[in-house]
């Protein structure tokens, strides 16, 4: 299967024109129609499904990605996100009633789910299709017009997206802009209604700064060093198998890949022995010959990872071989790595796994707490107290026990970082929410002035007294104890009264409300 190997950049002069066209497209109102959104979501799913061999070939070209990994970690997720949004958009987009309150129910408070407008999605190279198309599904479902800006590092996949999006989606509201720093900078100069950026934190700051100039809300999906805590009593073979898969898939270029291992010093060699067994199972003839192993995205990243490996003062115990001409770095395990090592100086984002021996669980926790909050934190243990201690003493985007990576694919879980690993969420309903404005709405009936008139001038102390009965909530006693029986009685009375009078007699309702408020106030 042939692929496009040279990415064509969108001419800089076209970028403001595309933006203006999408604004006009959005203002036409077409994206507000749920049937339109569903049609586009189906188009998105078919765009991927009809072209699976082309996506496989593009990912194999860009990242040397094995077919199974492409399906498991990328292509299937694109279809899943589109179809999940397709099936749920009616429900997600439905105007919601605000929670019932006695004081305000008559104002008919609702929450309208409105599109934010024209939004920008900027994606990185490591999952170049999914990290464009997954958020795109959420943005379409929410009714936005969207520009996606794929990574310039993935020539074949980004070219494929530029070719297919106009064929399958409505060009007046969905566009691809390809390019590098000048094109992204030009995009960022424009006013967007939301920007979702996925990538490294340094560029994340550039994006947030540019967005701030227009007060544009942003979602930053960033990275960081994801630690793994090992309880030596856990099945170390099972831990090694899961960790090795999560670390070496996509050659370690996964934002939530385990970055380093924290293991008690006395258990380090036992863990390495278990890892060595798994290593042989995974790559019986070595990773270089394996067709189950990806390559590093670019010479620049290969040089960076190779540099970290060359400078380490730890001891390479598995792998270690590299080949720049193939952008190959073997799955590598390095033991006795200290906190000041090159491998601990930045997110590795490659297939090198440092093992940091620690004297105690407290030391391991102190190390993690002393560094940036990671995007994911992993613990392998069957001991509930061990897990609780780790989770409750640390902060991270996700906290996962006895598993790695999978939380990004599990339905219903938000995907996002905290602190330097980012802010905001995506995947599934969380993508829809990210691109949705919750528009508060009321529709107050005329008769309600019977109650509201107390707010109008001329102000009197009688009006103030009546208002005060409604304005102040009941406060639990100072010891925090609350009695709920009053509420039950009130609810029963209200339902009976409303039913009895059929909402026909506002004066009676006013009297009832005031009477009930009095009961509540007197109770406390
Ligand atoms: P990258 O080099 O492909 O860049 C990402 C995007 O930023 C690209 O679209 C690129 O054009 C744009 N960009 C680059 N320099 C820019 C600049 N100066 N101004 C404006 N835009 C610019 O990918 P990357 O950033 O190297 O991606 C890897 C990082 O992304 C890792 O840190 C990884 O952990 C993180 N990541 C996070 C998630 C997540 O969901 N949290 C997912 C994947 C990757």
Residue ranges and CATH numbers for the domains of the chain are: 15-222+430-439 (3.40.605.10), 226-410 (3.40.309.10), 446-523 (no CATH)
pLDDT band at residue 502 under the 50/70/90 scheme: low
Residue 113 has pLDDT above 90, yes or no: yes
Of all protein residues, whose CA lies closest to atom 16 belonging to ligand 1? Answer: 181
Highest-scoring range by mean pLDDT, 177-181, 487-491, 504-508: 177-181
Closest atom of ligand 1 to CA, residue 416 = 41
The CA distance from 404 to 280, in Å, is: 20
Q: What is the CA(521)–ligand 1 centre distance, in A? A: 56
Q: Which helix (H) or strand (E) element contains residue 492?
A: helix 485-501
68-77, 172-181, 328-337, 495-504: least confident range: 495-504
pLDDT in tens, 447-463: 999 888 999 999 999 99
The CA distance from 374 to 394, in Å, is: 10
Mutation probe of ligand 1 site: the residue of 203, 256, 345, 407 with most atoms within 8 A of C-beta = 203
The CA distance from 150 to 172, in Å, is: 19
Check if the beta carbon of residue 256 is closer than 8 Å to that of residue 224.
Answer: no
Establish whether residue 206 lines the binding site of ligand 1, counting it when its CB lies within 6 angstroms of any ligand atom: yes
pLDDT of residue 474: 83
Query: Of residues 282 and 103, which shows the higher confidence score?
Result: 282
Residue 520 has pLDDT above 80, yes or no: no
Closest atom of ligand 1 to CA, residue 415 = 40
**What is the arithmetic mean of pLDDT over 218-237?**
98
Q: Residue 183: CB partners within 8 Å, gap ≥ 6?
A: 9, 10, 12, 15, 149, 177
Which two tokens mark 360? 């105690």
- Please report where in the chains the tokens 């009714």 appear, as a residue: 143
Check residue 129 and report its DSSP letter: T
Decide if 226 is catalytic.
Answer: no
pLDDT of residue 471: 86
Establish whether residue 199 lines the binding site of ligand 1, counting it when its CB lies within 6 angstroms of any ligand atom: yes
**What is the arithmetic mean of pLDDT over 483-496?**
73
**What is the arithmetic mean of pLDDT over 126-153?**
98
Closest atom of ligand 1 to CA, residue 125 = 3
pLDDT of residue 85: 98
pLDDT of residue 524: 41
Q: Residue 439: CB partners within 8 Å, gap ≥ 6?
A: 111, 112, 113, 114
The CA distance from 261 to 441, in Å, is: 50
Closest atom of ligand 1 to CA, residue 417 = 41
Catalytic-role residue among 69, 132, 255, 347: 255
The CA distance from 213 to 216, in Å, is: 8
Q: What is the CA(373)–ligand 1 centre distance, in A? A: 18
**Nearest one of 287, 201, 277 to 243, comparing CA atoms:** 277
What is the SS3 string spanning 10-61? CCCCHHHHHHHHHHHHHHCCHHHCHHHHHHHHHHHHHHHHCCHHHHHHHHHH
Q: What is the CA(125)–ligand 1 centre distance, in A? A: 7
Establish whether residue 221 lines the binding site of ligand 1, counting it when its CB lies within 6 angstroms of any ligand atom: yes
Residue 523 has pLDDT above 90, yes or no: no
Decide if 281 is catalytic.
Answer: no
pLDDT band at residue 512 under the 50/70/90 scheme: low
pLDDT band at residue 492 under the 50/70/90 scheme: confident
Q: What is the CA(443)–ligand 1 centre distance, in A? A: 45
Q: Residue 118: CB partners within 8 Å, gap ≥ 6?
A: 19, 22, 23, 26, 144, 145, 146, 147, 192, 193
Straight-line distance from the first to the last Cα atom of the chain, in angstroms, rounded to the nearest whole number: 76
Establish whether residue 405 lines the binding site of ligand 1, counting it when its CB lies within 6 angstroms of any ligand atom: no
* Residue 477 exposure: Cα atoms within 13 Å on the Cβ side: 8
* Residue 183 exposure: Cα atoms within 13 Å on the Cβ side: 21
The CA distance from 25 to 82, in Å, is: 21
pLDDT band at residue 510 under the 50/70/90 scheme: low
- Please report where in the chains the tokens 């990872």 appear, as a residue: 305
At residue 77, the 3 state secondary structure works out as: helix
Query: Of residues 156 and 521, which shows the higher confidence score?
Result: 156
Check if the beta carbon of residue 242 is closer than 8 Å to that of residue 249.
Answer: no
Q: Residue 366: CB partners within 8 Å, gap ≥ 6?
A: none
* Model confidence, pTM: 0.92
Of all protein residues, whose CA lies closest to atom 5 belonging to ligand 1? Answer: 124
The CA distance from 505 to 492, in Å, is: 19
pLDDT of residue 469: 86
pLDDT band at residue 223 under the 50/70/90 scheme: very high
Residue 521 has pLDDT above 80, yes or no: no
Q: What is the CA(207)–ligand 1 centre distance, in A? A: 10
Of all protein residues, whose CA lies closest to atom 2 belonging to ligand 1? Answer: 124
pLDDT in tens, 47-85: 999 999 999 999 999 999 999 999 999 999 999 999 999
Catalytic-role residue among 183, 221, 226, 347: 221
The radius of gyration of the chain from alpha carbons, rounded to an integer in Å, stands at 28
Establish whether residue 43 lines the binding site of ligand 1, counting it when its CB lies within 6 angstroms of any ligand atom: no
pLDDT of residue 508: 56
């Amino acid at each position: 299967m042939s692929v496009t190997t040279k990415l064509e950049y969108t001419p800089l002069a076209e970028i403001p024109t595309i933006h203006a066209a999408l604004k006009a497209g959005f203002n036409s109102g077409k994206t507000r129609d749920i049937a339109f959104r569903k049609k586009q979501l189906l188009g998105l799913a078919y765009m991927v499904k009809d072209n699976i061999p082309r996506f496989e070939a593009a990912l194999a070209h860009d990242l040397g990605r094995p077919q199974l990994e492409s399906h498991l970690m990328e292509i299937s997720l694109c279809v899943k996100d589109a179809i999940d949004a397709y099936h749920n958009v009616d429900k997600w987009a439905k105007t919601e009633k605000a929670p019932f309150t006695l004081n305000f129910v008559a104002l008919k408070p609702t929450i309208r789910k409105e599109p934010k407008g024209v939004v920008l999605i900027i994606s990185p190279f490591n999952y170049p299709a999914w990290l464009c198309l997954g958020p795109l599904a959420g943005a379409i479902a929410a009714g936005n017009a969207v520009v996606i800006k794929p990574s310039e590092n993935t020539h074949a996949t980004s070219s494929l997206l530029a070719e297919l999006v106009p064929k399958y989606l409505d060009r007046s509201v969905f566009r691809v802009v390809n390019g590098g720093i000048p094109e992204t900078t030009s995009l960022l100069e424009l006013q967007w209604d939301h920007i979702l950026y996925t990538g490294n934190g340094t560029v994340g700051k550039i994006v947030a700064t540019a967005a701030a100039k227009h007060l544009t809300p942003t979602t930053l999906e960033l990275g960081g060093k994801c630690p793994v805590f090992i309880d030596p009593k856990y099945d170390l073979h099972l831990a090694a198998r899961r960790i090795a898969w999560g670390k070496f898939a996509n050659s370690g270029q996964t934002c939530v890949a385990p970055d380093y291992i924290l293991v008690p010093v006395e258990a380090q060699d036992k863990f390495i022995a278990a890892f060595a067994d798994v290593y042989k199972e995974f790559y019986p003839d070595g990773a270089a010959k394996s067709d189950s192993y990806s390559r590093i995205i670019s010479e620049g990243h290969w040089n960076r990872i190779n540099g970290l490996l060359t400078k380490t003062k730890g001891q390479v115990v598995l792998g270690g071989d590299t080949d720049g001409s193939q952008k190959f770095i073997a799955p590598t395990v390095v033991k006795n790595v200290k906190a000041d090592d090159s491998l601990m100086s930045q997110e590795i984002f490659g297939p090198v796994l440092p093992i940091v021996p620690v004297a105690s669980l407290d030391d391991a926790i102190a190390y993690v707490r002393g560094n940036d909050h990671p995007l994911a934190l992993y613990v392998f243990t069957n001991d509930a107290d061990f897990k609780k201690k780790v989770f409750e003493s640390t902060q991270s985007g996700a906290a996962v026990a006895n598993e790695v990576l999978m939380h990004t694919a599990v339905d219903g879980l938000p995907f996002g970082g905290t602190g330097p690993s980012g802010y905001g969420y995506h995947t599934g309903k969380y993508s829809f929410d990210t691109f949705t404005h919750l528009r508060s709405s009321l529709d107050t009936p005329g008769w309600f002035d019977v109650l509201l008139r107390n707010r109008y001038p001329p102000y009197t102390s009688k009006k103030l007294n009546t208002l005060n009965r409604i304005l102040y909530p009941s406060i639990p006693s100072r010891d925090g104890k609350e009695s709920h029986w009053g509420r039950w009685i009130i609810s029963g009375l209200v339902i009976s009264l409303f039913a009895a009078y059929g909402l026909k007699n506002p004066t009676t309702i006013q009297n009832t409300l005031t009477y009930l408020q009095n009961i509540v106030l007197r109770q406390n």
